[in-house]
Structure 1
Amino acid sequence: MARKKDTPQKAALREMMGNYLKENNVKVKDGTDFNSIMRDMMSIILEGDLDQEMDEELGYSKYDYRNKEKDNSRNGHSQKTMHTSYGDMEIDIPRDRKGEFEPQIV
């Protein structure tokens, strides 16, 4: 039976993951390998979303100092351990100087 047609997003992800696995010589031999890849992907996606949340909170993007209208700013990252179905993973949570940033996604 043939595979049904992918959405453009799924096709792009399939190509990206295929390239990643090939270029980094990653072999998925068992569930442990799969879980490791999923943890890495999930942490990258979450950290990107957290950075976007910080942009929205502060009202300007990371390197857009000209449009900075608030007295609050970025202040590095804190590490947090998340317990997921793929295992524990460390993610970097952005901080602001005033300690007002409350991430919504995690």
Structure 2
Amino acid sequence: MFPIAKEWQDRPLEDTYAVVFMDAIHYNVRSEGRIVKKAVYIAIGINMDGMKEILWMWVGENESTKF
């Protein structure tokens, strides 16, 4: 893993966020010679100062209630 990505993952988060949004975006990705659909899940928080922050991202096989 890239050092900057690990640093981002390990950063401290706020204790409280005014609003948290969760969503997924679907992409077609080439995997082992086939085109497959992947979902990128994202959680965005708006802190108490009104600033948006990306809290979390995850790549999944497809959109489901599991995530």
TM-score tier by shorter-chain length is 0.3 to 0.5
TM-score of the aligned structures, taking structure 2 as reference length: 0.36
Question: Which of structures 1 and 2 has the bigger CA Rg?
Answer: 1
Name which structure has the greater RCO, CA cutoff 8 Å, separation 6+: 2
The structure richer in strand per residue is 2
TM-score of the aligned structures, taking structure 1 as reference length: 0.26
